[in-house]
Structure 1
Amino acid sequence: MRVTPLRIVLAAAVAGALGIAASLALNGPGPLLGTEAGQRMLNDALVAATPTPEGVAVARRGETLPAIRLAALDGDPIQLPDDFAGRPLLVNVWASWCGPCIKEMPELDRYAREQGESGVQVLGLALDEPQAVRDFLQRIPVAYPIAIDAPGPADAGVRLGNPRGVLPYTVLVAADGRLLKQKIGPFEEGEIDGWAVP
């Protein structure tokens, strides 16, 4: 039997797929999801498996965010990405009833406080009832601003590229409004420092 370059490539692809499958079977998806490539694959799979509601503009990696109108918790209007132009922006989508969201909030707060006036801006986006968010923030305050939106099939989380509504969900937006990164799931301690590099 003659070995052709195509057979070598196919054998390598099959071996790689088997290696990934064995790793996932033994270790679960955790290690893969902790990588940028794993996060891209997960997000791409969720987007491909979820139809976008008609007429809803959804953020895509590498493209400028669609205009998203929100309200701050105090009721003031917020326009994404325009109100945060000129500096990178990290938007963390959460809810007061979401255990992993609550667990990562001290880490987000630490990160936001360290950024000062010239670093990455942090915005929390609660898909929740305003009073539930106010009550939660009385117990666990954060230094970064909080926006709010009602959860639903076309909420701000969906428009930021999270069609399944998995929480927590975080995006990193460049100073010029382009979506750079997406993360499904909570940040581990110290992880955000390396992840949120534009």
Structure 2
Amino acid sequence: MKITPLKVVLAGLVAGGLGLVAGILATGGGPLLGTDLGQRVLNDALTANAPPLPDGGAVARRGEALPAVAVDRLDGGQVRLPGDYAGRPLLVNVWASWCGPCIKEMPELDRYARAQGEAGVQVLGLALDEPQAVRAFLARIPVHYPQAIDVPGPADAGVRLGNPQGVLPYSILVSADGRLLKQKIGPFEHGEIDRWAAP
């Protein structure tokens, strides 16, 4: 077998990419995970071999229109994404009451949501959890942005919103016209959301 320079370069790129992904998963990513490039690499790695949804539904992809997702509001009724939030950007934060990093970032999400007011980015929490556990958690640590809920599983709302591996917390930014702009795996640090969700 003849080894050409192109094969060497391609092998090096593949090995480097696999090493980068392994490093991110093993060490938490450090500063790289806090960048948009790092988040893209991590999300691409986590979605590369994701199985198709059991019902044949679509999974959100960056830059494309968000597939229709319907979930229950914690306080009753249903939320239809992206339609119910059309006209303004939307940050959806997928979390669970048992997820330590999710709990840590909630005050920051609440601060950000309050700062947005009536004209800024909308914020929606989406708990993949039991309703009783979510209500008990929110009684202890209240937040002032709306909450929706879904049953965790292989085709839950978090998976449909672009997180087929179910890593929590997981956040997305949706444009006013319903396209998936950004994805973030992991918690927001203090002040990070303002930069991340900026136009």
TM-score bracket, shorter-length normalisation = 0.7 to 0.9
One-letter amino acid of the counterpart of residue 40, structure 2: R
Return the alpha-carbon distance in structure 2 between the equivalents of residues 122 and 132 of structure 1.
Answer: 21
Structure ID, larger Rg: 1
Return the alpha-carbon distance in structure 1 between the equivalents of residues 52 and 119 of structure 2.
Answer: 35
1:98-137 maps to which residues of 2 (within 5 A)? 98-137=99-138
Return the alpha-carbon distance in structure 1 between the equivalents of residues 63 and 76 of structure 2.
Answer: 30
In the alignment, what sits opposite 2:98?
97
Q: Could you tell me the percent identity over the aligned residues? A: 76
Return the alpha-carbon distance in structure 2 between the equivalents of residues 28 and 132 of structure 1.
Answer: 28
The answer to whether the Cα contact below 8 Å between 1:52 and 1:163 also exists between their aligned partners in 2 is no
Deviation at 1:140, TM superposition (A): 0.4
Q: Once superposed, which parts of structure 1, at least 4 consecutive aligned residues long, lie more than 3 Å away?
A: none
In the alignment, what sits opposite 1:190?
191
**What secondary structure, in the 3-state scheme, does the structure 1 residue paired with 2:48 have?**
helix
In the alignment, what sits opposite 2:53?
53
CA RMSD in angstroms comes to 2.7
One-letter amino acid of the counterpart of residue 117, structure 1: E
In the alignment, what sits opposite 1:44?
44
The answer to whether the Cα contact below 8 Å between 1:113 and 1:143 also exists between their aligned partners in 2 is yes
**TM-score normalised to structure 2 length:** 0.87
One-letter amino acid of the counterpart of residue 41, structure 1: V
Cα deviation, 1:137-194, whole Å, max 9, x if unaligned, reads 0000001000000000000000000000000000000000000000000001111100
Return the alpha-carbon distance in structure 2 between the equivalents of residues 20 and 96 of structure 1.
Answer: 31
Residue 178 in structure 1 maps to residue 179 in structure 2: yes
Residue 140 in structure 1 maps to residue 144 in structure 2: no
The answer to whether the Cα contact below 8 Å between 1:93 and 1:169 also exists between their aligned partners in 2 is yes
Deviation at 1:49, TM superposition (A): 2.5
One-letter amino acid of the counterpart of residue 131, structure 2: P
Return the alpha-carbon distance in structure 2 between the equivalents of residues 73 and 28 of structure 1.
Answer: 31
Deviation at 1:75, TM superposition (A): 1.7
Q: List gaps (5 residues or longer) in structure 1.
A: none
Deviation at 1:13, TM superposition (A): 6.4
In the alignment, what sits opposite 1:75?
76
Cα deviation, 1:24-79, whole Å, max 9, x if unaligned, reads 7xx76212111100100100111012212241211010111111111100121110
The answer to whether the Cα contact below 8 Å between 1:127 and 1:150 also exists between their aligned partners in 2 is yes
Q: List gaps (5 residues or longer) in structure 2.
A: none
**TM-score normalised to structure 1 length:** 0.87
Return the alpha-carbon distance in structure 2 between the equivalents of residues 13 and 158 of structure 1.
Answer: 29
In the alignment, what sits opposite 2:32?
32
Residue 155 in structure 1 maps to residue 149 in structure 2: no
In the alignment, what sits opposite 1:63?
64
